[in-house]
Structure 1
Amino acid sequence: MASTILYKTVIMLILIGVGVICAKTKLISEASNKDLSKFVLQVVNPVVIFMSYQTKYRKELVKNLLLTFVISAAVLGAVILLSYGFVRKKQGRETEIERFSSVYSNCGFMGIPLVDAIYHEEGVFYLTAFITVFNLIVWTHGVILISGKKDFKQVVKVFYSPTIIAIFLGLITFFVQIKLPSALADSLGFIKEINTPMAMIVSGVTIAGTNIPKMLKNYRIYYVCLLKLLVIPVIIAVPLVLLGGIEEKVRMTILIASAAPPAAMCTLLSIRYGRNSVYASEIFTSGTILSVVTLPLVVKATEYLTKIL
């Protein structure tokens, strides 16, 4: 499993490198990258999610999906509490950005390609539960954390997002067992296949705009990345391994989603609410690069814990 993750993350790193080259050679501008990012988030990701529900109804799938909802909520709640313990408020420190980055992952951009590569449609099927819980919490706690004010109107907007609509429609087609016509299913299948390369190239273009030398000198970034990519995921792995009745696909899907690099959304929210968006972008860049090493390590550690506990 760990070797598979390493292989897939190396492929993603190469694709990210393609994105960096495209940015440096001006093939993709910053404005174009924003449009590509929207296309991935609002079209490609929802298609991948919807197509994961185009599968035969099985009771075990429903059971595992509901279990993933419950565990995802518990995991994200626990991670929020851990972030307040590990990232203490201090004068001159970007506490809110660091806490946000240590809690919220790129579970869509990085999570979907990885889970799809390892567990295919069934893995993405379970991942939709994590993504649903993630969206509900990030648009409440996450927005409040970065903005410094309560804005519960954002919660309502979550239910109109393409991702949630795709999950809702997907659930209907799954439970009613509505199968798409072959031509439509094949067309959406082609869109589904571009998810990984497009997501990684967009990440690469974003990384290319970061001041790498300056970023490498900020040791606080390493601390936040260490928390997000290794410490917190390993802490989460222990109870997940100890709890009985959890299938490996469910457990590993939640872990991969949790151990994915810091969410790019932190940068977007920081821009919107006047926070230090450069620092948020630096954490995102560092976390994305380091995750190539840390994701296989987290999986390997979980496999080891499964054997000894």
Structure 2
Amino acid sequence: MASTILYKTAIMLILIAVGILCSKTKLISAASNKDLSKFVLQVVNPVVIFMSYQTDYRTELVRNLLLTFVISIGAMGTAIAFSYLFVRRKQGREFEIERFSAVYSNCGFMGIPLVNAVYGDEGVFYLTAFITVFNLIVWTHGVILISGEKNFRQVVKVFYSPTIIAIFLGIITFFLRFRLPASVAEALGLIKEINTPIAMIVSGVTIAGTNVMKMLKNYRVYYVCLLKLIIMPLIVAVPIALLTGVDETVRMTVLIAAAAPPATMCTLLSLRYGKNSIYASEIFAAGTILSVVTLPLVVKATEYLTKIL
């Protein structure tokens, strides 16, 4: 499976390069890219998630979905705990951005296309559990970390997001065994197919807006990427490898989501709360590029651990 991940991430790297080219040639401006990003997050991703629930009801799917919730909570909790160990508070250091980037992954933009490519709709079905856990924790712990303010009212806003609404509607239709009319399903299926190319092109345009030379000279960027892309996923991979009685699709879906590059939300929250959004963008850019190599390695390492543990 590691070779499949490598192949898919290589394709994504090409799409990212297209995005960079579109930015450099002024075909896509920063303002247009922001609109495209909203389109992916608020329309395309929710459609992909909802359509993953348009499948035949099976008890096995329900059981695995609940297991994914539990494993996802464990994976996120472990990453948060270790982030405080590896990224210490220090005067003059952007420790909030570094901790956030080390914990929260781009499980929507990168996770959905990768999981869909490897495991299809069933993988995305399980990934919705991780995305739900991600949203609940990022809008509580994540916002408090970046803003420095304890505002738990943010949790309520999570349930109004298109992603969570799509998950709830999907679950309802799944348990009621309601299937969309063929024409509607085909139309939404066409929207679903554009998820990967648009998401990666948006990422490419975002990366093109960073100062690459400055990024390459900042060793802390490499340190945070090492944490997010190698150390944290491997820490999570050990208990996942021990869950031999759990479906491989469940285990590897959580791993891929956890090992995805740093979340774009760090940049968005940094802009909102007056933090160093440029630094957040540099970590996102470096992590996205490096993940093409690290994701297959982490998957391969987990496969090996599963065999020997």
For Structure 1 versus Structure 2, the TM-score category normalised by the shorter chain is over 0.9
Q: Does 1:72 align with 2:64?
A: no
Q: Does 1:254 align with 2:254?
A: yes
Task: Please name the residue that 1:143 is paired with.
Answer: 143
Task: Please name the residue that 2:294 is paired with.
Answer: 294
Q: Among the aligned pairs, what percent are the same residue?
A: 80
Q: Deviation string for 1:155-187 (max 9, x for gaps)?
A: 101000000000000000100000000000000
Aligned runs of 1:1-309 on 2, under 5 Å? 1-309=1-309
Spell out structure 1 runs of 4+ moving beyond 4 A: none
Q: How many residues align?
A: 309
- Give the drift of 1:260: 0.2
1: distance between equivalents of 2:157 and 2:109?
A: 20
- Give the drift of 1:243: 2.5
Matched residue type, 1:162:
P
Q: Deviation string for 1:63-107 (max 9, x for gaps)?
A: 000000111011101110000001111111100000000000000
Matched residue type, 1:200:
M
C-alpha contact 2:83 2:102 (8 A) present in aligned 1: yes
1: distance between equivalents of 2:159 and 2:38?
A: 17
TM-score (norm 1): 0.99
1: distance between equivalents of 2:135 and 2:187?
A: 27
2: distance between equivalents of 1:191 and 1:61?
A: 24
TM-score (norm 2): 0.99
2: distance between equivalents of 1:147 and 1:262?
A: 18
Matched residue type, 1:308:
I
2: distance between equivalents of 1:186 and 1:298?
A: 35
- Give the drift of 1:154: 1.0
- Give the drift of 1:153: 1.5
- Give the drift of 1:211: 0.5
2: distance between equivalents of 1:88 and 1:110?
A: 28
- Give the drift of 1:242: 1.2
CA-based RMSD: 0.5
- Give the drift of 1:129: 0.2
